[in-house]
Amino acid sequence: MSKKTRPQILVTGAAGTLAQQVINRLSATCDLVAVDFREKVDLGDSIPSYCIDFNKRVFEDLFRRYQFDGVIHLGRVQSSELTRMRRYNANVLGTQKLLDLSQKYGVKRVIVLSTYHVYGAVAYNPALIDESAPLKSAGLSADLVDSVELENLANLYLWRYPELNVTILRACNIVGPGVRNTMSRLLSSKAAPVLAGFSPMMQFIHIDDMADAITLTWQKTTKGVFNVAPHDWVAYQQALKLCGCTRIPIVSVPPVLPKTIARILKLRSFPHYLLAFFKYPVVIDGRTFAKEFNFEPKRSLTEIFHYYRNHK
Amino acid sequence: MGLASFIRSKLSSADVNSQIDRIKKPIGTLGYDPWGYNNDSVKFGMTLTRHLYEKYFRVETSGIENIPAEGPVLIIGNHSGQLPLDGILVGHALANREVNPRLPRAMIERFFPTVPWLGNMLNEVGAVLGDPINCAKMLENDEAIIVFPEGVRGSGKLYKDRYQLQRFGNGFMHLAMKYNAPIVPVGVVGCEETIPAIANIKPLAKALGVPYAPVALPFVLPAKVHLNFGKPMYFDSNEIPEEQVTERVEAVKSEINRLINKGLTERKRLF
């Protein structure tokens, strides 16, 4: 039997554009297995792809069949998707199962994609929030609890099982071709809601750069928690303008009014529990990650906004 | 061109634009910094404040050269006058200094970010939420920062208490020591007379979620303003008990008191 030379990696969230970009980048040097709980994705003959719920027993069969060296967990359900309970099951219980199995089957590298949403949007946020800042999100909205819980779990495994070499990446707004999250939907739309009188500073990372960041993280075994964001900023309303979106102001005071409007409209791109992110800035400091992993984003904000403007 | 852009282009002046362009700021590719500072907004804002500074308040400044040309520095002053006019005037004085102008950042009260339009507008012209982390990160960026350690205790005080310094917080001293930033004291005279308040309606302030609700004239009086900047004060970064930190804060407070008295002596008339 020939000795295994290429590392075997499990990539979750395979139906997403980001996972597919990461798979493309790693496929030359690694053997990959893709999994998604939403749908089975065809990634060619060389990459086995599965549609499995992490909470089902058959998920463990994957770990038995393939001897994974690494797990790249990109399959976090975003806060705009599914119900709160289903998100909790997928993000928290599903991640726990994934980490348990990783520990049980001797995985040596785990990368978990998180979000800057965990810091929470409050009026008193300083700018350039670093990784040691408290995660206020859970106290602000029950709909963001699963994001914080997912992080807490990953942190627990990071310290309890150092051999897993867990790295958590808290990314800013990931945008660009094929991205279907809240922010990308807003930037691609012809008209986007804004809270009247508020235009918080925001950060955007191109999906290609984010895929590069994850690939660099795989290549260097530094465990810990890292913010991933370019050292560049723009006000939300200015970003919409540059993307060619018409801004639709929503009355912002008293705060109960925009919340009620968002609840009534039920816009996927402007959910009521994310309203604070369109009011107060959550600017993260990505310099530690950039230095540690020698990461430099290649796509500028102008390039990102050009893409959205040209694809209206 | 949108209406806002049109108004901005009409109101900004070429000499103000070139003055701002002389000052290099660490900004991103679209002209913003992480705290929301925006070069275009500053140009527009500076054109407006020039009229306030030169025509309305006829500001007289002395000692502005005491602020170092570069590196982190804390400009510490007395706060007064209900609105943050003192911060705007100190900022304008430094940005329009003949030699080595700098665009300072002002630390503002915590309720400003919750106010629609005003919060964003203040951020765009360089004001920053008064948070120790913000202050620390900006000192790391070699910024000049205006701090009023009295906070709302100073700006919200009544006319009968004018020029009586309120309690100073110690936070600015800890930051100055940690980041080896000199402290330049400034005594502001005149802002107390811009919006003299005779009472503070506390229940109304509470209901509106603002720090104070003054009983005052509904306009700003054109009081003449004197800004007296003192010599830079240097404090070592040795670990010392809080009691000694407070002593250092008191030394800064005494210097500001001296500068206020100097301004009051120099002042010939209120308006």
In terms of Cα–Cα distance, which of A232, A230, A233 is closest to A295?
A230
pLDDT band at A152, cuts 50/70/90?
Answer: very high
- A-chain residues near B117 (CB < 8 A): 197
Top-confidence residue, A299 or B218: A299
Top-confidence residue, B206 or B103: B103
Class at the top of the CATH hierarchy for domain A8-179+203-233+282-299:
alpha beta
Half-sphere exposure of A225 (CA within 13 A, CB side): 25
In chain B, the percentage of residues whose pLDDT exceeds 90 is 70
For chains A and B, what is the number of CB pairs under 8 angstroms? 72
Contact B30 A283 (CB under 8 A): no
- The residues on A that touch B, with CB distances below 8 Å, are 123-128, 195-199, 201, 231-235, 238, 242, 252-253, 280-281, 283, 300-302
Top-confidence residue, A141 or A119: A119
* Arithmetic mean of pLDDT over chain A: 92
Interface of B with A in 115-144 (CB under 8 A): 115-120, 123, 128-129, 131, 133-134, 137
With 50 as the cut, is the pLDDT of residue A1 above it? no
Q: Find the mean pLDDT for residues B151-161.
A: 90
| Neighbour count for residue A189 (Cβ, 10 Å) | 20
| Helix/strand/coil (H/E/C) assignment for every residue in B202-215 | HHHHHHHCCCCCEE
Q: State the residue for tokens 């930190």.
A: B245
pLDDT band at A76, cuts 50/70/90?
Answer: confident
Domain boundaries, chain A: 8-179+203-233+282-299
pLDDT band at A81, cuts 50/70/90?
Answer: low
For the segment A100-131, what is each residue's pLDDT rounded down to a tens digit?
999 999 999 999 999 999 999 999 999 999 99
Q: Find the mean pLDDT for residues B246-260.
A: 97
ipTM for the whole complex: 0.89
- Residue B234 burial by CB count (10 A; 0-12/13-18/19+): exposed, middle or buried? exposed
Interface of B with A in 177-206 (CB under 8 A): none
> What predicted TM-score, i.e. pTM, was given to this entire model?
0.90
For the segment B60-73, what is each residue's pLDDT rounded down to a tens digit?
999 999 999 999 99
The type of residue at A230 is: P
DSSP label at B233?
A: B
User: For the ranges A100-114, A200-214, B202-216, which has the lowest average pLDDT?
Assistant: B202-216
What per-residue confidence (pLDDT) applies to A142? 81
Q: Could you say which of B36, B114, B116 has the minimum Cβ distance to residue A196? A: B116
- B-chain residues near A300 (CB < 8 A): 29
What per-residue confidence (pLDDT) applies to A3? 59
What per-residue confidence (pLDDT) applies to B2? 65
What per-residue confidence (pLDDT) applies to B109? 86
Q: How far is A60 from chain B (nearest CA, A)?
A: 44
Q: Could you say which of B114, B128, B133 has the minimum Cβ distance to residue A123? A: B114
Using alpha carbons only, give the angle A9, A289, A145 rounded to the nearest 5 degrees.
75
Top-confidence residue, B218 or B182: B182
Q: Given the DSSP bridges, would you call strands A173-175 and B60-62 parallel, antiparallel or unpaired?
A: unpaired
What per-residue confidence (pLDDT) applies to A272? 85
The type of residue at A36 is: D
For the segment A271-290, what is each residue's pLDDT rounded down to a tens digit?
888 899 999 999 999 999 99
Q: Could you say which of B32, B116, B120 has the minimum Cβ distance to residue A234? A: B32
Element (H, E) at B76: strand B73-77
The answer to whether the CB of B48 falls within 8 A of the CB of B79 is no
Q: Could you say which of B113, B117, B131 has the minimum Cβ distance to residue A280? A: B113
SS3 state at A12: strand
Q: Find the mean pLDDT for residues A23-48.
A: 90
B39–chain A Cβ distance below 8 A for any pair: no
- B-chain residues near A124 (CB < 8 A): 110, 113, 129, 131
- B-chain residues near A238 (CB < 8 A): 30, 32
Q: How far, in Å, CA of B79 to CA of B86, rounded? A: 7
Q: How far, in Å, CA of A243 to CA of B30, rounded? A: 13
Q: Given the DSSP bridges, would you call strands A234-235 and A201-202 parallel, antiparallel or unpaired?
A: antiparallel
With 90 as the cut, is the pLDDT of residue B230 above it? yes
B26–chain A Cβ distance below 8 A for any pair: no
- Is the omega angle on the peptide bond into residue B182 within 30 degrees of 0, that is, cis? no
In terms of Cα–Cα distance, which of B40, B18, B15 is closest to B124?
B40
Residue ranges of domains in chain B, CATH in brackets: 56-266 (3.40.1130.10)
Contact B30 A301 (CB under 8 A): yes
How is A62-103 classified by DSSP, letter by letter?
HHHHS--SEEEE--PPPTTSS-HHHHHIIIIIHHHHHHHHHH
In terms of Cα–Cα distance, which of A288, A259, A277 is closest to A137?
A277
What per-residue confidence (pLDDT) applies to B173? 97
Dihedral angle over CA of A142, A148, A149, A155, nearest 10: -170
Q: How far is B32 from chain A (nearest CA, A)?
A: 6
Contact B120 A198 (CB under 8 A): yes
How is B101-150 classified by DSSP, letter by letter?
----EEEE-TTGGGSTTHHHHHHHTT-EE--HHHHHHHHHTT-EEEE-TT
Q: How far, in Å, CA of B12 to CA of B46, rounded? A: 8
DSSP label at A44?
A: -
For residue A225, the cross-strand partners are A168
Q: How far, in Å, CA of B73 to CA of B179, rounded? A: 9
Q: How far, in Å, CA of A278 to CA of A267, rounded? A: 14
Q: How far, in Å, CA of A116 to CA of A157, rounded? A: 20
B34–chain A Cβ distance below 8 A for any pair: yes
Q: Nearest chain A residue to B124 by CA: give it.
A: A235
Q: Find the mean pLDDT for residues A171-194.
A: 94
Q: How far, in Å, CA of B262 to CA of B9, rounded? A: 40
Q: Could you say which of B111, B116, B128 has the minimum Cβ distance to residue A197? A: B116
In chain A, the percentage of residues whose pLDDT exceeds 70 is 97
B209–chain A Cβ distance below 8 A for any pair: no
In terms of Cα–Cα distance, which of A4, A284, A36 is closest to A171?
A284
What per-residue confidence (pLDDT) applies to B25? 83
* Arithmetic mean of pLDDT over chain B: 91
Question: B2-34 b/e with 16+ CB inside 10 Å = b?
Answer: eeeeeebeeebeeebbebbeeeebeebebbbbb
